[in-house]
Structure 1
Amino acid sequence: MLRVGLTGGLGSGKSTAARLFAALGARVLQSDAIGRELMEPGQPIYDGMVAHFGLGVVRPDGTLDRAALARIAFAEGRVEELNAIAHPLVIERQMVLTEEIFQREPHAVVIVESALIFETNYGSVDGAGWQRRFDRIILVTAPEEVKIARFVARSSGGKAISEEQRAEFEDEARRRLAQQISDEQKSALSDYVLTNGGALTELEWQVDQLWPILEAAA
């Protein structure tokens, strides 16, 4: 078995890399998807957010208002409060799902896609850090201007936007990137670095070269 952490800053393209690895046979767990599941009404992150931040983060339909939480986290500078609730629960779920996969497939390569592998202060429920949760770390990098442009495109849904809206999205991207450590620092902690500043075919080639190495390690 092999436990791999796949990380990268906002707009780096780590989700694209994860899809490419999945197509080759990796078992991919997405932290964002796990977080969304645990944010549903009645789930532990939902309960924790409402208890901590109040009913102002609940939409009329009873679901969590993710936009309100984002404003609290990034605009109000309370991201650590949010992380303290969400991260331990997401990491615990990752570990449970990983173990279930290995019970079925002892030689599987399980890749956990997460933006904040190095940044989180909540390594696991027993205090273990990322070094104990992963056998290998893959970092996906891209130039900052590319990351910001990708965030703007995603946030706008591909629609035409005003210069004022573009500036707002760019400022939001910079605020979020400021919460993450630099690619240079992450590179020093990673086993493999994939560069994703150009064409998709370049990333595909790098993933294809790395996959047999991961398989052999598993």
Structure 2
Amino acid sequence: MMLRVGLTGDLGSGKSTVARMLAERDAVVLSSDEMGRALMQPGERAYAQIVEAFGREVVAEDGTLDRKKLAALAFDAKLPRIEELNAIIHPAVIDAQAEQLAELEKTSPHAIVVVESALIFSTQHAPRGSWRDRFDCVLVVDAPEEVKIARFVDRIAAGRALCGDEREGFEADARRRLQVQHATVYPGDCLVLHNDGDVEFLEQQVAVVWEQLQQMERAGGKR
């Protein structure tokens, strides 16, 4: 039977790298971030709700959402509005995932489907019960906090040299976001990958986990 796998981890943990490695092993990967971005486009189900809640100031000149302005409001240090934004996006994304999983179950009944999402455990806005109702197992990607912050800053910089104040600002932004995510306590029955070494070390762990997932699929979703 099709195996439904959740893939999660904090900002900068490396879960997207793990998702890519699993896709290379023939897993079907669904990205919550990509779904969220699609649902936030003009005419899609979350767009109008976001504009109504956050105002026209988050709309760019071309009519799309200005994601930087929206993120600044969501993660504002004095008055964060991230849960307000999550209350709009999360139910729409989870519904879209459920639709895709139902279709995949018909067309690929023995697939291993990986749903990549940072907020599998911490979302308060899931319309379809708990995470255990949505997934057969969950993979958690973990890394030391300073490593996660450095990865976040490097991704934002995109190869550009940063001045001291700019780097400090990005680091502070990363810490604010991690503080929100740190409220999560991961259940003890998750499969954990420790991304605190080089890519080869992570690849070795993914290879072991992939064997476990294949065994679970053959056993009907049971560990």
State the TM-score, normalized to the length of structure 2: 0.93
> Equivalents in 2 of 1:203, 1:190: separation in Å?
20
> Equivalents in 2 of 1:69, 1:25: separation in Å?
35
Partner of 1:98: 101
Partner of 2:125: 122
> Equivalents in 2 of 1:55, 1:70: separation in Å?
14
> Equivalents in 2 of 1:46, 1:88: separation in Å?
13
The CA deviation string for residues 45-77 of structure 1, in whole angstroms up to 9 with x for no partner, is 111101211211100110001011101110131
Residue 158 of structure 1 and its aligned partner are, at CA, apart by: 1.5
Residue 199 of structure 1 and its aligned partner are, at CA, apart by: 0.3
> Equivalents in 1 of 2:182, 2:188: separation in Å?
11
Is 1:29 aligned to residue 30 of structure 2?
yes
Where 1:193 maps in the other structure, the secondary structure is strand
Partner of 1:211: 210
Residue 181 of structure 1 and its aligned partner are, at CA, apart by: 2.6
Residue 182 of structure 1 and its aligned partner are, at CA, apart by: 5.9
> Equivalents in 2 of 1:2, 1:42: separation in Å?
33
> Equivalents in 1 of 2:11, 2:96: separation in Å?
23
Mapping of residues 1-218 of structure 1, within 5 Å: 1-75=2-76, 76-124=79-127, 126=128, 128-181=129-182, 185-186=185-186, 188-218=187-217
The CA deviation string for residues 11-52 of structure 1, in whole angstroms up to 9 with x for no partner, is 000000000000001000000000011011000111110121
> How many aligned positions are there?
214
> Equivalents in 1 of 2:198, 2:51: separation in Å?
42
Where 2:162 maps in the other structure, the secondary structure is coil
Greater Cα shift, 140-149 or 96-105 = 96-105
Where 1:179 maps in the other structure, the secondary structure is helix
> Equivalents in 2 of 1:34, 1:80: separation in Å?
18
Q: Which has the higher helix share?
A: 1
> Equivalents in 2 of 1:208, 1:182: separation in Å?
30
> Equivalents in 2 of 1:191, 1:152: separation in Å?
28
1:15 is matched by which residue type in structure 2?
A: S
1:195 is matched by which residue type in structure 2?
A: H
Partner of 2:220: none
> Equivalents in 1 of 2:197, 2:118: separation in Å?
20
The alignment yields a C-alpha RMSD, in angstroms, of 1.2
Quick check: 1:122–1:129 contact (8 Å CA) kept in 2?
no
